[in-house]
Amino acid sequence: MMLNIMRRLFLYHAMGIVTGLAVLSGCTTQSATIIQQPFESEKHRTLHITECVNRTDYKGSHDLVTEATRTFTQKVRDSGLFEIAPDARLVLTCDIERFEEGSALKRWAMEGGATQAQVVVIVWQKPDDKLLATFRAEASVKFGGLYTIGADHYIFGAAFNDIVKQLKSWVQANEPRGPVGSVK
C-alpha cells in the first residue's frame, strides 16, 4: 500500500515537471536590433507611442491594431524605462508585419497550426524625424498540445517582451556608470 502511494506521488511530480517544461518551451522568440544613433538619456525620458499599423492580410476575429497597441503600451509602461506622454519628442511607431492565429489542436494532432506574430518598432526623434533605432521581434508557438490553447491571445505579449528587452539594452548601453574598482 505504501509503495503504491509513493509511486503515485512520484508519477504526479514527474508529470508536473514535464508539463511545466513543456509549457515554458512552447513559445519562442527571435529578434533583431539596428541602432542608428546611441540613446541620449539626458534628452529622452518621456516618449509617445503611436497606434500600431497592421501590415498583414489577416481577416480573422482579432482586432490586431487594438490588441498590439494596448499590449505594447502596457509592456513599455510596466518596464519603467520611460514615461509615456502625447507631446514627447521621442516617438515609437509599431508595425504588425505578421500574425497567424494558429491552432493548438493542429499543433497537437499533426504538423502545422503555428501561432505567430512579428512586430517592428521604430524609434524616431521629433521634430526632424531622425531615425534612432529599429527593433524587430517574432514570437511563435510552433509545437505543443492542448496546453498551448489561447496562444493567439498572448503571442503579442511575448513579442513585445522581446522588444522591451531590446529597448532596455539600447537605453542602458549609454547610461553613465559609476566608478569601477575600489576606493582606498
Q: What is the pLDDT of residues 37-92, one digit of tens each?
A: 888 877 788 999 999 999 999 998 999 999 999 999 999 999 999 999 999 999 99
Q: What angle do CA 10, 14, 16 make, to 5 degrees?
A: 120
Cα–Cα distance between 102 and 83 in angstroms, integer?
35
pLDDT tens digits for 19-49?
443 444 468 888 788 888 888 877 788 999 9
The predicted pLDDT at position 169 comes to 93
3-state secondary structure of 125: strand
- What CATH homologous superfamily does 27-173 map to? ABC-type transport auxiliary lipoprotein component (3.40.50.10610)
What's phi and psi for 133, nearest 5 deg? Answer: -165, 155
The whole-chain average pLDDT of the chain stands at: 81
Nine-digit cell at 106? 493542429
Nearest to 162 by CA among 34, 24, 3, 31: 31
Nearest to 91 by CA among 146, 33, 46: 46
